[in-house]
A = this chain, B = another copy of it.
C-alpha cells in the first residue's frame, strides 16, 4: 500500500508543474503562433527587471481600439445601430422629423437605403439622438438599449460579441501591471456605459470621441450636465494620439488596432523609446466572423478600412498582424 501511495504522490509531484503551467496559460484561446509569442515575449521582457526592455509599472500603458479590435463591428458599428434605433422614439416626440431626411430614410426601414446614408447624414442623426438630454438620461437610455439590442447574425447582445482572445489579452496585461485603455472612434460616453462589465475597464479609462457637455441648473436648481451638439475630440486617425495625450498623458507601450483609423496611434506607440509593440487584428475569417480589409473587400465602406497600405506599413515596421482565422482558437466567449 505504502509504495502505491508513494508512486501516486511522486507522479502527482512530477505532474504538478505541468498542470499548473496549463492552468496558468494566460492566452488559452490563442494558437501557438507568432502573434501569441510576440505578446507573451513583450510582457515577459517589459516586466522582467533584469531585461533591457524592462518598463516600470507607471509606463505600462496599453491601448485598444474597440470596434473590430475588441468587438464585432459588422455590419455596422454598434453605436451607429444605437443611434438609428433611437430615431423612431425621437420621431414620436418630434413628428416633423418624419418627413425630413435623413430621418425619413431611417424610418422607412429600407436597409439598402440606410446603408447608403452619408457620414453627414449620420452626424445629423447622432446630433438629434444623443444631444439635448442630460448625461444621466443618456446613460439610462444607452444602458437599456445595450441590455436588450441583439446582433442580427448571432441573435446575441452586442456586448456578447467581444472577442474572447482579446478579453484574455486585457486580463493578461492587467495581471502584469499594465493599465488598459480603450481608444475608440465611438462616443466616449456610450462605451463607458458597459466597459467595466464587458472589458473590466472603468469609465475613466475610455478615450473616445467626445461631444460638448454643458453645465447648468435644471428647473429645480439642481446642477446638471447636458449633452450638446459639437465635437471636442474626433477620436480617429490623428485624433487617437491627440486623445491619448489629453486623457492619459503618456505614450502607450503596447497598442492594438484593426483599421486605418488606428494607424497614427500605432505609429505614435512605436515611436516611443524602449520596448513598444503594435498589433493589428485582421478580419480574415468569413466563416466564424467576417473577412474584409486586405483579406476581402466588403461593399460597406463605412467600416474603418484595413487597407493594403496599412498592411504593408505593418509588415515594413515590424507591427504584429493577428489573423483571426489562424491565431484564434475561438472567437467568442459563448463558444465552447
Contact = CB atoms under 8 A, between A and B. Distances in A.
Nearest to A264: B215
A247 interface: yes
Interface string A184-212: 00001100100010000011101000100
A246 B223 contact: no
Contacts of A188: 246, 249
A12 interface: no
Contacts of A135: 245
Contacts of A202: 58
A2 to B, nearest CB: 48
Interface residues of A, number: 35
A285 interface: no
A213 B242 contact: yes
Interface string A206-240: 10001001111000001101000000110000110
Contacts of A204: 179, 204, 247-250
A261 interface: no
A292 interface: no
Given A206-B249, A213-B245, 20 more contacts: A58-B196, A179-B204, A188-B249, A189-B249, A203-B250, A204-B247, A204-B248, A210-B246, A214-B242, A215-B238, A215-B239, A215-B241, A215-B264, A222-B271, A223-B241, A223-B267, A223-B268, A225-B241, A225-B242, A247-B247
11 contacts: A58-B196, A58-B202, A135-B245, A204-B247, A213-B242, A214-B238, A215-B264, A223-B241, A223-B268, A225-B241, A225-B268
